Each structure stands twice: as C-alpha cells, then as structure tokens.
Structure 1
Amino acid sequence: MMGLPHWDRIVSFEVPMWTPYGLDYKPVSFVGGADRLLQDVATYAMDLESELIYLSGMRYGEVGVVSYDKTIDPGRSISFPLGFVVIFSFSKAMEKFVSRFVKEMDEIKVGVCFCDLWDREMPLGKYKAIALISSNPFFDDKNFLEHFVQELAKNVDAKATPSLSYFAEKFGYRRFFIPYETDDPIELAISSICNEFETEEIISLLGSIDH
C-alpha cells in the first residue's frame, strides 16, 4: 500500500506558555473533557503510536493538545470554525489506517506535512504530522468522527495493541520531535523535490519514485 502524499505546507500553532507541552499528564482525559467521542479518538490514536494534536470543526470548535486555552475558556476566542481539520502526529500505523479509511471519501483530503509549535517567538519543535482536511464549510465532523472511531476500534482490537493511553494518563506522556521519532526533514525535503520533478517520460521509464 502506498503512503500518503507529502504536502509542501507547514502548519503553525501558537502554544500557550503554560501548556505542559514536553511532558503532559492526562492528555487523553483532558481532550475528552469536550466530548467522550474525542476521548476515544485520542485513546485509539495512541494505540497506533500517534496523538490527536488538533481538531477544528463546526460542532467541536477547536480542541487538542495545542489548544488548551480555548478548551478551558471557550469565550476567549468566540468563533464558529467552518470546514474541518484534524491533525495527528505521524506514525506508520496511523498513516496506513488513514490511507485506507479515506480512500472512498471525496470530501476529505489527507496528506503528510510538518507542524511547527511556537511559544510566542520561540519555536518549541517540529512535528511530522498527518492532516485530514475538508473545505466543505458545513462538514459533519461528529458523523465523521463516529465512523472514524468505529474503524479505529476494529483496527486496534485486531492488533491487540496494549493501551499506551493508560500509561500516558498515569505517568505522563513525553513528546518527541522529528530528529528522535521519524524521518530526517532534509531527506523528506529532497524526496519532495524529486517528486515535483517527475515527468510522464521518467515514470514510463523508471516507474514512480513512490513505488
């Protein structure tokens, strides 16, 4: 199965200075404070060695581990997000699951991108992330997440994966950035450039670089 396409975009988030970003205690239950369904998404994501970083939708507003201030004080930023965005930290298991899950969905675009986190003018780090996006302003995020959780549960149960979320809740969850957890950003950039230079003639002679 081919992986997700790499997007030449960087998603940036401003993280409140008091957010327990490096070592986070109860990351699942806190996100779940907004809705039980979100808690299930966060739990199963960890079982796939990923994490629910950010979600924006009509029904849920903005939630996630980089939006603590908006979760605690919804009145701080009164807005009604249109469209739908959900971002997970990258893992091979999550990439494989999402690739299969969105295969027949025309409304959802999905790809791998970088996610920069900032505390005011200071960069905290760079994630490799999986982003799912819909431009439909009235996208039904609740219906999507219900289906997403059902399929996630099947995938996790089939693998009998131990619940990493239990240890994250009990002992804290240590986050790592790209140099420690996944691909080298320079190699990814080179791969992206090579893909942009692909032509029909090259593909016919050598095959696609992604294969």
Structure 2
Amino acid sequence: MINSVLPYWDQNIDLDIAPWVPYGKDYSPVTVNRLYNPLLGSLAGLALEMKSEFLYLRSFQSGNVGTMARQNMIDPGRNGGLELGFTMVFSYSEMLEHSVLPLLHQYPGLMAGLTLCDIWSDNVLVDECKVLLLVNEDPFFNEAAFIESLYKSFQALSGRESSNLSFFAEKFGYRRFSISYETDNLTQMRITQALFDIELDATKDVLGPVPELKIPLLPSIG
C-alpha cells in the first residue's frame, strides 16, 4: 500500500492534447523533450526509471512544453502564449514523491501536491491518471536550477546516471493506458465507484479529511 506524504490539491486538473499526439503508444516520450533542451529530455528519461512520466511544464520562462505539449517544441512558433508562474506535472509514483520532498525546503515558494488529471483529445476523455503537481507562483522562479536539482535527485534515488528504460520505451513503443468505452461495463463501474465513495467517507469519519492545498489561480492550469 502506498502511503503518500504530500497533501492533495483542492481540485482536479484537465490536460488537452493535440489530436495527433500518440497517446496510446508513443515512440518518442523522451527524445521529443530534447527539442526544447537536452536536460529536459534527460529528466524525462529518468522519470521512467522513477516509475513515473514527465507530462508537461508551463512557465513564464518556457511557455508550454513537454511530452504532452510537443506541438510547441516541434513548432516553436506555437509557443507564444504568456504563462505566469511555474507548473510541472508528472504521473504519480512513490519514488517520484520521495525525490521531490527534499527540494521543497531547498526552493522557497515551491508547492507540491497530488491530484487527478483528466486527459482530453478532441473533447473526448482518453485517460485519467494520478499526478504530482508542482507549482510556484513566482514568474521569475529559477526553473533551470530546479530542474537540475530534480534531475540530480532522480539520479540519486534511482541509482542511475541516465535512463536505460527510455531506450526500450522508444524502440518498442511506450504504452499508456486509455479508457476503452466499448468494453466498459458501466453498471459495474457505477457500483465500484459508489463503494469507493462509501469507503472514502467512512475513512474520513475516522481519520478526518485529507489535507488539501488550494491551487493558485494560474493561467497555466486549465
């Protein structure tokens, strides 16, 4: 059982991806980030070693980039919008959480929490995943130094200087789960969700509500 240390954000987030992004089977989940800079590509590779995945980065300095925003790296002319603050999103893993915790003391103003991310393509929900969301409201947050520190933290916790998994992920295709509407038993899904809600309410009655962080009103969070 995973015991999370970080609190939950007070709301879920949505992520809209371009229709042509290969979500189900991706042959460039790491190298596409090298189009922005080599360090981001290396970070994305080590994220796989952390049993996680780097999804996207939005900031005043970088705009909107990352594995799920590859259109802005392939065609930099698209990356012209003004983003305030700093937002970085990874799919959740326990190893990832432990690698982030020490950095919260090192970078004042940096906040980290867990939430659910709905991933949409052409107004169709293709997936829902648990994510770790990093936020700093300062538009001049030193993101280059932070990414370097996060990369070193990944190296220390994974015990690797660079990623081996990224080679196999890109050679054979990195598979992500996606919702299969045709085979879903909707009645069973509703029963399962109802039982989960009852269990969650009962747990809160005993332990109290899960601590929540309020997501700042940043344009970078849709």
Matched, 1:83 2:93: no
Task: Tell me which residue corresponds to 1:25.
Answer: 27
User: Separation in 1 of the partners of 2:96 and 2:85?
Assistant: 22
Task: Tell me which residue corresponds to 1:44.
Answer: 46
User: Separation in 2 of the partners of 1:46 and 1:130?
Assistant: 14
Matched, 1:94 2:96: yes
Contact 2:63 2:80 in 1 (8 A): no
Q: 1:68 aligns with which of 65, 70, 73?
A: 70
- 1:73: how far off? 1.7
Distance of aligned partners of 1:177 and 1:103 in 2 relative to their CA distance in 1, 3 Å threshold: farther
Contact 2:51 2:95 in 1 (8 A): yes
Structure 1 residue ranges without an equivalent (≥5): 179-183, 200-207
Contact 2:155 2:162 in 1 (8 A): no
> Aligned-residue CA RMSD in angstroms?
3.1
- 1:31: how far off? 1.1
Deviations 1:2-28 (A, max 9, x none): 521122311111111111011000210
User: Separation in 2 of the partners of 1:42 and 1:2?
Assistant: 22
- TM normalised by structure 1 equals 0.80
Code of the aligned partner of 1:174:
R
Code of the aligned partner of 1:111:
G
User: Separation in 2 of the partners of 1:97 and 1:185?
Assistant: 31
Code of the aligned partner of 1:6:
Y
SS in structure 1 of the partner of residue 117 of structure 2:
strand
- TM normalised by structure 2 equals 0.76
Task: Tell me which residue corresponds to 1:120.
Answer: 122
Matched, 1:151 2:161: no
- 1:177: how far off? 5.7
Structure 2 residue ranges without an equivalent (≥5): 180-191, 212-222
Code of the aligned partner of 1:175:
R
Matched, 1:6 2:16: no
User: Separation in 2 of the partners of 1:191 and 1:25?
Assistant: 41
SS in structure 1 of the partner of residue 22 of structure 2:
coil
Code of the aligned partner of 2:155:
A
- 1:75: how far off? 1.7
- 1:135: how far off? 0.6
Task: Tell me which residue corresponds to 2:189.
Answer: none
- 1:193: how far off? 8.2
Task: Tell me which residue corresponds to 2:208.
Answer: 198
Identity of aligned residues (%): 31
Distance of aligned partners of 1:52 and 1:191 in 2 relative to their CA distance in 1, 3 Å threshold: farther
Task: Tell me which residue corresponds to 1:181.
Answer: none
Code of the aligned partner of 2:111:
K
- 1:29: how far off? 0.6
Code of the aligned partner of 2:152:
Q
Contact 1:5 1:112 in 2 (8 A): yes
1:171-190 paired onto structure 2 within 5 Å: 171-176=172-177, 187=196, 190=200
Structure 1 consecutive aligned stretches of length 4 or more whose deviation exceeds 4 Å = 184-189
Deviations 1:94-143 (A, max 9, x none): 12222233244331110000111111221111011000000112111111
Code of the aligned partner of 2:208:
E
